[in-house]
C-alpha cells in the first residue's frame, strides 16, 4: 500500500502566538522520517494537525491522499498516533487500555484481546499486563503508548518523542521495531529534539526552526560545511598536559589553537570526509597511537547545529 504524508504551506496560531508559520514537507512509505527541531519549534503542533486533532489555519495536509480536516475518520483509519505522554485511562490495566482502544476501532472483543496480547509481547510489557497504567514508569508508558498506536495495524505512524524515558535496551528494541515496520512499507514520522535518538533510525529528516521548515538546499549546504572530528590518543600518564594537542597539530600542519579539547579527546576540524581521510593518514604516518577517530557529532546534529539552532561540543573551536 502506497500511503505517505504530504503537507504544503501549513500554518497554525494560538491567539497572538504563531506556533506553525509555514510547513511544507513529504514523508514517503517504507521510510522513517525525522521531524527535527528545538523545543518550541512547532513539531508537536504539526503532529497534532496531521493526527486530525487540530485544524490548520491555512495550507493542505494529506495522509495517503486523505485530508485529515475534511475526513478525520478516514485519516484515523490509516494512521496510528503516539503522543509524548500516555494521557488516558490511568485506572485501566495495560491490557485493558489496549483492548478498549482496539474496540474503538471496531475490533470484536475476542479479537481485541488477542491483539492486545500480541502488542504487549511486542513491546515487552506482558509481565505488566495487569498493572494499572498510572503505576507504570515513564518508559513503560511510552511502550504502552506505542502499542496503542499500533492496535489497528495502521500504515502511517505519527510518533511524538517515542524514545523519551526509554532505557538503552528499550531504545534498541524500538529502533529494531521501527525499521521492521518501515520495511513492511509503512510511513513513519518521528518528532524529536534528541538528535542521537533520531540518528540511529531515520532515513530522511525535516528540519524546523521558528515554526517553519528549512529549505532542502539550505540543509544540504549546512551538512557539507566544515565539521569537527573526534581524535583520541592512547593514554600515557608520562606525557605532559597539552602534548597530544601539540603533536596532533604538528602532524597535521596546524596551529595548536586550531584544535579543540573535549575532556580526553581532541576536536579537529576538516572541510570534508576526504580531508578527514588525509588527516588520519598523516596522524598514523607520524606514529601517533590513535585509538579513536570519528565525527564529533552525527550527520543530523552537524546539519542542525550549522543551521544555527544550537551550539557545538564543549571545547570545539569557533
Would 316 be classed as within a structural domain?
no
Longest dimension (CA), the chain: 72
Report yes or no on 305 lying in a domain.
yes
pLDDT single digits (tens) 29-88: 999 999 988 888 899 999 999 999 999 999 999 999 999 999 999 999 999 999 887 776
In a domain, 221, yes or no: no
Same domain, 125 and 205: yes
Q: Is the pLDDT of residue 14 over 70?
A: yes
Tens digits of per-residue pLDDT, 47-62?
999 999 999 999 999 9
Range of the domain at 118: 5-214
Asked if residue 297 and residue 165 are part of one domain, the reply reads no
Same domain, 177 and 232: no
Same domain flag for 199 and 242 = no
The answer on 232 and 208 residing in a single domain is no
pLDDT score, position 318: 28
Boundary residue ending a domain (183, 214, 245): 214
| Residue 47 domain flag | yes
Would the pLDDT of 192 be above 50? yes
Query: Which ranges of the chain would DSSP assign to H, the alpha helix?
Result: 43-50, 72-78, 94-104, 109-122, 138-149, 168-183, 195-199, 216-223, 243-252, 273-285, 299-304
Q: Among residues 172, 190, 214, which one ends one of the domains?
A: 214
Residue 51 lies in a domain: yes
Does one domain contain both 123 and 100? Answer: yes
- Over residues 288-300, the pLDDT tens digits come to 999 999 887 766 6
Is there a domain that residue 314 lies in?
A: no
Note whether 93 and 234 are same-domain residues: no
Query: In terms of domains, do 174 and 284 share one?
Result: no
Same domain for 250 and 170: no
Cα separation of the two ends of the chain: 48
Rounded Cα–Cα distance for residues 69 and 263 (Å): 51
Rounded Cα distance between 43 and 160, Å, is 8
Query: What predicted TM-score, i.e. pTM, was given to this entire model?
Result: 0.76
- Among 187, 214, 241, where does a domain finish? 214
Q: Does residue 146 share a domain with residue 59?
A: yes
Task: State how far the Cα of 254 lies from the Cα of 204, in Å rounded to an integer.
Answer: 35
* pLDDT value of residue 209: 84
Q: Please check the confidence at residue 149 and state whether its pLDDT lies above 50.
A: yes
Residues 52 and 129 in one domain: yes
DSSP 218-285: HHHHHHTS-EEEEEEEPP-TTSPTTHHHHHHHHHHT--GGGSEEETTEEEEEESSHHHHHHHHHHHHH
- Domain tally for the chain? 2
Q: Evaluate whether residue 24 is within a structural domain.
A: yes
Is pLDDT of 317 > 60?
no
Residues counted in the chain: 318
For residue 282, the domain's CATH number is: 3.30.70
pLDDT digits (tens, 9 = 90+) for 254-263: 988 889 888 8
Task: Please check whether residue 220 lies inside any domain of the structure.
Answer: no
Q: Which CATH number belongs to the domain containing residue 84 in this structure? A: 3.40.50.300
User: Cα-Cα-Cα-Cα dihedral of 249, 252, 255, 261, to 10°?
Assistant: -50
- Is there a single domain that holds both residue 206 and residue 236? no
Amino acid at each position: 500500500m502506497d500511503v505517505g504524508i504530504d503537507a504544503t504551506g501549513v500554518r497554525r496560531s494560538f491567539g497572538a502566538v504563531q506556533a506553525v508559520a509555514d510547513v511544507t514537507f513529504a514523508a514517503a512509505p517504507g521510510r522513517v522520517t525525522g521531524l527535527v527541531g528545538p523545543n518550541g519549534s512547532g513539531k508537536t503542533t504539526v503532529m497534532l494537525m496531521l493526527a486530525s486533532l487540530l485544524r490548520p489555519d491555512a495550507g493542505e495536509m494529506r495522509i495517503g491522499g486523505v485530508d485529515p480536516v475534511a475526513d478525520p475518520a478516514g485519516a484515523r483509519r490509516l494512521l496510528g498516533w503516539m503522543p509524548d505522554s500516555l494521557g488516558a485511562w490511568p485506572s485501566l490495566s495495560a491490557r485493558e487500555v489496549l483492548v478498549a482502544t482496539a474496540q474503538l476501532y471496531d475490533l470484536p472483543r475476542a479479537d481485541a484481546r488477542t491483539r492486545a496480547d500480541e502488542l504487549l509481547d511486542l513491546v515487552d510489557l506482558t509481565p505488566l499486563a495487569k498493572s494499572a497504567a498510572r503505576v507504570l514508569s515513564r518508559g513503560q508508558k511510552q511502550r504502552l503508548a506505542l502499542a496503542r498506536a499500533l492496535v489497528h495495524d495502521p500504515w502511517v505512524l505519527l510518533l511524538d518523542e517515542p524514545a523519551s524515558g526509554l532505557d538503552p535496551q528499550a531504545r534498541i528494541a524500538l529502533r529494531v521495531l521501527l525499521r521492521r515496520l518501515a520495511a513492511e512499507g509503512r510511513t513513519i514520522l518521528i518528532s524529536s529534539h534528541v538528535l542521537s535518538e533520531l540518528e540511529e533510525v531515520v532515513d530522511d529528516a525535516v528540519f524546523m526552526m521558528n515554526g517553519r521548515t528549512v529549505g532542502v538546499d539550505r540543509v544540504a549546504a549546512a551538512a557539507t560545511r566544515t565539521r569537527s572530528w573526534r581524535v583520541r590518543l592512547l593514554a600515557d600518564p608520562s606525557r605532559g598536559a597539552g602534548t597530544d594537542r601539540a603533536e596532533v597539530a604538528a602532524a597535521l600542519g596546524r596551529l595548536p589553537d586550531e584544535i579543540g579539547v573535549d575532556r580526553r579527546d581532541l576536536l579537529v576540524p576538516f572541510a570534508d570526509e576526504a580531508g578527514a581521510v588525509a588527516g588520519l593518514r598523516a596522524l598514523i604516518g607520524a606514529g601517533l597511537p590513535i585509538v579513536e577517530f570519528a565525527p564529533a557529532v552525527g550527520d543530523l546534529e552537524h546539519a542542525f547545529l550549522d543551521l544555527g539552532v544550537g551550539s557545538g561540543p564543549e571545547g570545539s573551536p569557533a
